Amino acid sequence: MKISAILLAAGSGERLKKGAPKAFVEVQGQAMFLHSLDLLERHPQVSEIILVVPKPKINVAKRLSAAFKKIKKITAGGSTRQKSLAAGLEFCREKVVLSQNAANPFATIKEISGLIQALKGSDAAAVAHRADSTVRENLKTLDRRKIWLMETPQISKKDFLIRGLQIANRQKIEATDELQLAELAGAKIKIISADKKNRKITHPIDLKNGSMFHVPCSMRVGLGHDSHRFSKSKRPLILGGFKISADGGLEGNSDGDVLLHALTNALSSALGGGSLSTFADAMCRRGMRDSKKYLELTLKKMRAAKFTVKNLAVSIEGRKPKLEKHFPKIKKQLTKLLKLDSSRIGLTATTGEGLTAFGRGEGLQVFAIVLLRNL
């Protein structure tokens, strides 16, 4: 299932008392809305993002979000959440729409996946916290076991949101969240428990009490290195999974893809594992000489450990061949292998002034650095 995501970031933030639209207030080192934008960008089932911001902030939003490739449209919001939703809904192409409030900067991948799963038996779903204090309506005590305190993300089949907006406008109802709109349209709804740290930022105390909203973000750095001499026999030259030429290849028990070897070493080191030889040699003896297989095994371990690649930097030393002209195709191949946007992959090459065997044309040496973050 592919979904459209609307990031609602058009609120004025009057109660936050920061003198700026809430979504643009800095939280943990960056504008609040960028936390949610990063979350939506990383979820594999989000195919597009519509960012809704105050009209005066459109250019600022474009500048701050330039690295996010799933953004389809940045548009101006309205004076209410309902109007902002309508503005974003206009650009959604998918049949399922996920709404995320920028004031919920610490929602999780798990919550989005849970909502998508919940939609299989319903028309709309949302995350919420169960009330844990006594709840009264005037002087009447309510059963708190039946009370949910709503958060985002929320998800709905697009048709129900459209019909809900039509009904709300006709009956002059100002819905306070998307589940209410879907409910107006007769949707079958479901609520799942929100992550404990996913709470809306509304008042100044919410910003001051950092521990209340802090979500540990585990980052790991991996360094990988490998080198191969050029083969005297006719072997294809493969770098990053891309075949550069039919000959001029590198020695090795495998296909000699020194770039993927260095990358695999970098990933393994970030995960606390050993060098490539600790598992690739045995695979090679079984006839598995494609270096992409070694990388795939390490990526599988990475995902099992709940990490994803955030950035990759590669430096290649060698006198020949001239590699810069091949970088776009190598980067395209790495993008597919890592499921990482090309803007997060850096490739450089140097001859090293001929001071080493690589600079003198005897082989190639590669260093790779990866940045991983937890899902």
Domain with CATH 3.90.550.10 in the chain: 3-213
Better-scored residue on pLDDT, 5 or 139: 5
pLDDT at residue number 209: 57
Asked if residue 24 lies in contact with residue 63, where contact means CB atoms within 8 angstroms, the answer is no
Per the structure block, which two tokens stand in for 123?
């028309």
Per the structure block, which two tokens stand in for 296?
């795939």
Least confidently predicted of 2-11, 138-147, 197-206, 260-269:
197-206
Predicted confidence (pLDDT) at residue 189 exceeds the cutoff of 90:
yes
DSSP assignment letter at 145: G
Confidence of residue 204 (pLDDT cuts 50, 70, 90): confident
Amino acid at 284: C
Predicted confidence (pLDDT) at residue 325 exceeds the cutoff of 90:
yes
- Give the three-state DSSP class for 244: strand
Average pLDDT over residues 116-123: 96
Average per-residue pLDDT in the chain?
Answer: 92
Give tens-digit pLDDT for 337-355: 998 888 899 999 999 999 9
Per the structure block, which two tokens stand in for 352?
């090293």
Give tens-digit pLDDT for 10-64: 988 777 877 778 899 988 778 899 999 999 999 999 999 999 999 999 999 999 9
Least confidently predicted of 63-72, 131-140, 208-217, 228-237:
208-217
Average pLDDT over residues 257-271: 96
Distances (CA, A) of 232 to 75, 238, 317, 357: 59, 15, 20, 16
Distances (CA, A) of 226 to 57, 233, 264, 336, 347: 47, 21, 10, 22, 15
pLDDT at residue number 27: 84
Per the structure block, which two tokens stand in for 245?
């030429």
- Rounded Cα distance between 194 and 173, Å, is 26
Topology (CATH level 3) of domain 3-213? Spore Coat Polysaccharide Biosynthesis Protein SpsA; Chain A (3.90.550)
- Rounded Cα distance between 288 and 297, Å, is 12
The helix-helix angle for 291-304 and 327-338 (nearest 10°) equals 40
Per the structure block, which two tokens stand in for 331?
């980067």
Amino acid at 32: M
Confidence of residue 211 (pLDDT cuts 50, 70, 90): very low
Q: How far is CA 182 from the centre of its chain?
A: 27
For 163, phi then psi, to 5°, come to -65, -40
Average pLDDT over residues 120-134: 95
Distances (CA, A) of 290 to 218, 244, 320: 31, 15, 23
- Rounded Cα distance between 58 and 88, Å, is 14
Give tens-digit pLDDT for 236-253: 999 999 999 999 999 988
C-alpha closest to that of 115 among 36, 1, 215, 202: 1
- Rounded Cα distance between 322 and 8, Å, is 47
pLDDT at residue number 58: 96
On the 0-12 / 13-18 / 19+ scale of CB atoms within 10 A, 237 is: buried
- Neighbouring-strand partners of residue 154: 99, 126
Predicted confidence (pLDDT) at residue 316 exceeds the cutoff of 90:
yes
Confidence of residue 216 (pLDDT cuts 50, 70, 90): low
- Rounded Cα distance between 149 and 144, Å, is 10
CA dihedral 360, 366, 367, 368 (to 10 degrees): 160
- Rounded Cα distance between 193 and 195, Å, is 7
- How many CB atoms neighbour CB 58 within 10 A? 16
Tell me the CATH number of domain 219-374, given options 3.20.20.70, 3.40.50.620, 3.40.47.10, 3.30.1330.50.
3.30.1330.50
Distances (CA, A) of 216 to 106, 153, 303, 373: 10, 20, 18, 11
Average pLDDT over residues 220-224: 96
Amino acid at 206: D
| Residues of the chain above pLDDT 70, percent | 97
Confidence of residue 119 (pLDDT cuts 50, 70, 90): very high
Give tens-digit pLDDT for 72-81: 999 999 999 9
Average pLDDT over residues 258-271: 96
Better-scored residue on pLDDT, 99 or 234: 99
Domain with CATH 3.30.1330.50 in the chain: 219-374
| String of DSSP letters for 169-234 | HHTT---SSHHHHHHHTT--EEEEEPPTT-----SHHHHH-HHHH-----EEEEEEEEEEEBPSS-
Asked if residue 155 lies in contact with residue 125, where contact means CB atoms within 8 angstroms, the answer is yes
Q: How far is CA 147 from the centre of its chain?
A: 32
- Rounded Cα distance between 312 and 267, Å, is 10
